[in-house]
Chains A and B, each alone.
Chain A
Amino acid sequence: MELFISIFVATIVAATPLVFAALGELVVEKSGVLNLGIEGMMLVGAAFGVWAHFAGLSMPVALLTAVLSGAVVSLLFGVLALTFMTNQYAAGLALAIFGTGVSAFVGRGFGSTPVEAIQPLHFPVLSDIPVIGPMLFQFDPLVYFSFVMFALVTWFLYRTKAGLALRAIGESPDSAHAIGYPVIKIRYLAVMFGGAMAGLGGAYLSLVYTPLWVENMTAGRGWISLALVVFAAWRPLRVMIGAWLFGGMTILQLQGQAMGVSVPSEVLSALPYLATIVVLVLISQNRKAMALDFPVSLAQPFRPRG
């Protein structure tokens, strides 16, 4: 039971950076834009979060710095993809490379200095309930915030007029433009939201999860977040489920390494990546489910006429 609880808790925590980044990308893709640069934006968020922390700023301000840095760096992609109408694949890759470089530059000198991580909360009474207490009421605030963001994103996309506009733009920017929606402006906002969320996901890694700055510390989580959005067939709840699955995979392989399973550690480390491939293959089989919520205009440049 102890082991089960600890694996459960660790899974939710490991999934949290993926939840942030993938929910952000979900909104971006729903607006018809494909930003491949999540890995770079996460790293930028992680590095600026640590930088702000060591600059003596309080934890909330450090997180805010990470969020802002993610949003700002996403604008580089936004300008290219939306204003200059470049190939979105190439612009996203440029952001991934650029973000990796910027983060390594900003984070230099902070390597291996541990961060005073954000501590788990302790609710009176609730946290002390056996089993349920440790499983539900002893997380750090950001884990709860990731659930809040999930609820907000779902509500926004499916229950608000702005969300409807965003989805309409993702389906058919020309029609949306004809009705009078500001396509480019809404796409810019979506891209910045995606950047902010990726920045937060990165900061979660460097300020809570690890918690210290290591070059390239995201280790492919940005790309896995992209895969999660595909896996989720562009639906928020499935993004969450996917993130937990991958979180669980990460934790199981770490557990396996800790328990000294007689397989090389590299085999275990490769599991999350291989699982991503397997899951992608399985989900791509169901073309109908994939097409249902797929934003039709994804990755196609849009230029308003007239």
Chain B
Amino acid sequence: MLFKVEARQEPSRKMALAAPLIATGLTVVISSLFFLSLGLNPFVTLYTFFVQPLTTMNGISEWLLKASPLILIACGLAVAFRANVWNIGAEGQLIMGAIAAAGVGLFSPFQESIFLLPLMVVCGMLAGAAWAAIPAFLKARMNTNEILVTLMLTYVATLILSYLVHGPWRDPDGFNFPQTALLPYAGMFEVFDYSYRLNTSIFFTVVAVILAWLFMERSFLGYKMAVGGVAPAAARFAGFKSSSSIWVGLLVSGATAGLAGMTEVSGPLGQLSSQISPGYGFAAIIVAFIGRLNAFGIVLGGLLLSLLYLGGETVQLSLGLPSSIALIFQGMLLFFLLASNFLINFRIRAIAVRAH
């Protein structure tokens, strides 16, 4: 028996649906082997990782709470990635959004106004978009690689945050901890139930998913951007400008990342500290790919990645495993997913070898 790889006439729809399942399955298998090698019972560990977090109401609330920013950011990133615009610095844009929102919440004169929260939303989105506008300008005007610029700006954003919470914005009554004072009540999202942290900011994510779907699948601009991503020469010929793809891709993804930062501050965090995101901006890249750059696929991808975060925390608490395992799983999942995407465009056929 030999195997031969053949290009398919057209991409397989069946495989497009099966690929994420195959990837998830392979991740589970390999991680079981990994747990075995650590001397742990893989069934217990996998249960602790993937099932136990969802057995309580609090677990489900945390699951959705973590999935929400991932999905929100990934929707923006999908718009950019489809146009071949590589915004890798959503983490930095998230941080800038969080900083701007917290700044408005803490220092604006509208401390008790009902307009505080909307103002924070707007400022968070603007700050994220502004941070992404730097690479957009440099790419569109100066031909500078956006991957590297967005990443470098992420490091800069982390340093700005660190400066603020260690310096001018540090809570004077905070026992010298590197964090700001708590946001006023008017600057916080309502929780659905006081026992859990899930809050109304999740509606932004729902709206973002719908808007992203409409934009990418039903709008002419979204279509133009996608053509530019797949076939730049064809797009130029049709008169679609690549600079508008760059601007729209980066500003949209920057704004969603900034909004995600804002919802974290006005949601589960309630203040700024030196660590405000467990890498949501990077994980959202994986979410976007797992969702095959499709808005509804992204929802599933976000739920899956959020479960990985949650599972990572659970095994850390109950089995004493390091939380870095979640990162390993994220990388592994993306590896398998990319590999199984191969099956969409190619088929592997067994060919009989004749005996001589």
- The answer to whether the Cβ of A209 comes within 8 Å of any Cβ in the partner chain is no
Are the C-beta atoms of B159 and A266 separated by less than 8 Å? yes
Determine the chain A residues whose CB is within 8 A of the CB of B289 once the complex forms: 90
A40 vs B282: C-alpha distance in the bound complex, in angstroms? 13
Determine the chain A residues whose CB is within 8 A of the CB of B138 once the complex forms: 277, 280-281
Q: Which residues between 249 and 285 of chain A lie within 8 Å of chain B, taking CB atoms?
A: 264, 266-267, 269-270, 273-274, 276-277, 280-281, 284-285
- The answer to whether the Cβ of A147 comes within 8 Å of any Cβ in the partner chain is no
Determine the chain B residues whose CB is within 8 A of the CB of A98 once the complex forms: 327-328, 330-332, 334-335
- The answer to whether the Cβ of A86 comes within 8 Å of any Cβ in the partner chain is yes
Are the C-beta atoms of B339 and A220 separated by less than 8 Å? no
Q: Which of A85, A226, A284 contacts B142 (CB 8 A)?
A: A284
Are the C-beta atoms of B145 and A230 separated by less than 8 Å? yes
- CB-based nearest A residue for B152: A273
Q: Which of B144, B147, B327, B342 contacts A281 (CB 8 A)?
A: B144
Are the C-beta atoms of B331 and A86 separated by less than 8 Å? no
Are the C-beta atoms of A270 and B338 separated by less than 8 Å? no
A266 vs B342: C-alpha distance in the bound complex, in angstroms? 44
- The answer to whether the Cβ of B303 comes within 8 Å of any Cβ in the partner chain is no
Contact A104-B327, Cβ < 8 Å, known A90-B289, A264-B167, A287-B143? yes
Q: Determine the main DSSP class of A at the interface with B.
A: helix
A97 vs B155: C-alpha distance in the bound complex, in angstroms? 16
Contact A267-B327, Cβ < 8 Å, known A87-B338, A220-B155? no
Are the C-beta atoms of B334 and A90 separated by less than 8 Å? yes
* Chain A proximity mask over B295-311: 1 for CB below 8 Å, otherwise 0: 00000000000000000
Q: Which residues between 155 and 202 of chain B lie within 8 Å of chain A, taking CB atoms?
A: 155-156, 159-160, 162-163, 166-167
Determine the chain B residues whose CB is within 8 A of the CB of A97 once the complex forms: 282, 286, 327, 330-331, 334
Stretch from A76-84, A187-195, A197-205 that touches the partner: A76-84
- The answer to whether the Cβ of B148 comes within 8 Å of any Cβ in the partner chain is yes
- The answer to whether the Cβ of A65 comes within 8 Å of any Cβ in the partner chain is no
* Chain B proximity mask over A99-120: 1 for CB below 8 Å, otherwise 0: 1111011001000000000000
- The answer to whether the Cβ of B149 comes within 8 Å of any Cβ in the partner chain is yes
Q: How many residues of A contact B (CB 8 A)?
A: 47
* Chain B proximity mask over A200-230: 1 for CB below 8 Å, otherwise 0: 0000000000000001000110011011001
Are the C-beta atoms of A101 and B142 separated by less than 8 Å? no
- The answer to whether the Cβ of B88 comes within 8 Å of any Cβ in the partner chain is yes
Stretch from B219-227, B243-251, B255-263, B318-326 that touches the partner: B318-326
Are the C-beta atoms of A100 and B327 separated by less than 8 Å? yes
- The answer to whether the Cβ of B209 comes within 8 Å of any Cβ in the partner chain is no
Q: Which of A105, A224, A273 contacts B322 (CB 8 A)?
A: A105
Measured between C-beta atoms, what is the minimum distance from B134 to chain A in Å?
A: 8
Determine the chain B residues whose CB is within 8 A of the CB of A41 once the complex forms: none
- The answer to whether the Cβ of B50 comes within 8 Å of any Cβ in the partner chain is no
Are the C-beta atoms of B143 and A284 separated by less than 8 Å? yes
Contact A276-B152, Cβ < 8 Å, known A267-B163, A281-B138, A284-B142? yes
A101 vs B322: C-alpha distance in the bound complex, in angstroms? 10
A218 vs B355: C-alpha distance in the bound complex, in angstroms? 55
Contact A227-B324, Cβ < 8 Å, known A86-B341, A94-B338, A287-B143? no
- The answer to whether the Cβ of B54 comes within 8 Å of any Cβ in the partner chain is no
Indicate the size class of the contact surface on chain B. 35 or more
Are the C-beta atoms of B155 and A273 separated by less than 8 Å? yes
Measured between C-beta atoms, what is the minimum distance from A26 to chain B in Å?
A: 15
Q: Which residues between 2 and 33 of chain A lie within 8 Å of chain B, taking CB atoms?
A: none
Determine the chain B residues whose CB is within 8 A of the CB of A36 once the complex forms: 147
A36 vs B88: C-alpha distance in the bound complex, in angstroms? 11
Determine the chain A residues whose CB is within 8 A of the CB of B322 once the complex forms: 104-105, 108
- The answer to whether the Cβ of B86 comes within 8 Å of any Cβ in the partner chain is yes
A219 vs B328: C-alpha distance in the bound complex, in angstroms? 19
Are the C-beta atoms of B324 and A285 separated by less than 8 Å? no
Are the C-beta atoms of A86 and B339 separated by less than 8 Å? yes
- CB-based nearest B residue for A37: B331
Contact A101-B163, Cβ < 8 Å, known A87-B338, A89-B86? no
Q: Which of A86, A94, A266 contacts B160 (CB 8 A)?
A: A266
Measured between C-beta atoms, what is the minimum distance from A301 to chain B in Å?
A: 10
Are the C-beta atoms of A101 and B152 separated by less than 8 Å? no
- The answer to whether the Cβ of B151 comes within 8 Å of any Cβ in the partner chain is yes
Q: Which of B88, B153, B324, B335 contacts A105 (CB 8 A)?
A: B324
- The answer to whether the Cβ of A241 comes within 8 Å of any Cβ in the partner chain is no
- CB-based nearest A residue for B338: A86
- The answer to whether the Cβ of B285 comes within 8 Å of any Cβ in the partner chain is yes
Measured between C-beta atoms, what is the minimum distance from B73 to chain A in Å?
A: 14
Are the C-beta atoms of A266 and B162 separated by less than 8 Å? yes
Determine the chain A residues whose CB is within 8 A of the CB of B328 once the complex forms: 98, 101-102, 105
Are the C-beta atoms of B152 and A220 separated by less than 8 Å? yes
A276 vs B144: C-alpha distance in the bound complex, in angstroms? 11
Are the C-beta atoms of A277 and B326 separated by less than 8 Å? no
Determine the chain B residues whose CB is within 8 A of the CB of A224 once the complex forms: 152
Determine the chain A residues whose CB is within 8 A of the CB of B147 once the complex forms: 36, 89, 226
Determine the chain B residues whose CB is within 8 A of the CB of A79 once the complex forms: 339
A contact residues vs B (CB 8 Å cutoff)? 36, 40, 76, 79-80, 84-87, 89-91, 93-95, 97-102, 104-105, 108, 215, 219-220, 223-224, 226-227, 230, 264, 266-267, 269-270, 273-274, 276-277, 280-281, 284-285, 287, 303
Given contacts A84-B339, A281-B138, 13 further A-B contacts (CB under 8 A): A90-B334, A94-B331, A97-B327, A98-B328, A101-B326, A101-B329, A102-B324, A104-B322, A227-B152, A230-B148, A270-B155, A277-B153, A281-B142
23 contacts between A and B (CB under 8 A): A36-B147, A84-B342, A87-B338, A94-B334, A97-B327, A101-B326, A101-B328, A102-B331, A104-B322, A104-B324, A105-B325, A105-B328, A220-B151, A220-B152, A223-B152, A226-B147, A266-B163, A270-B159, A277-B148, A280-B138, A280-B144, A284-B142, A285-B143
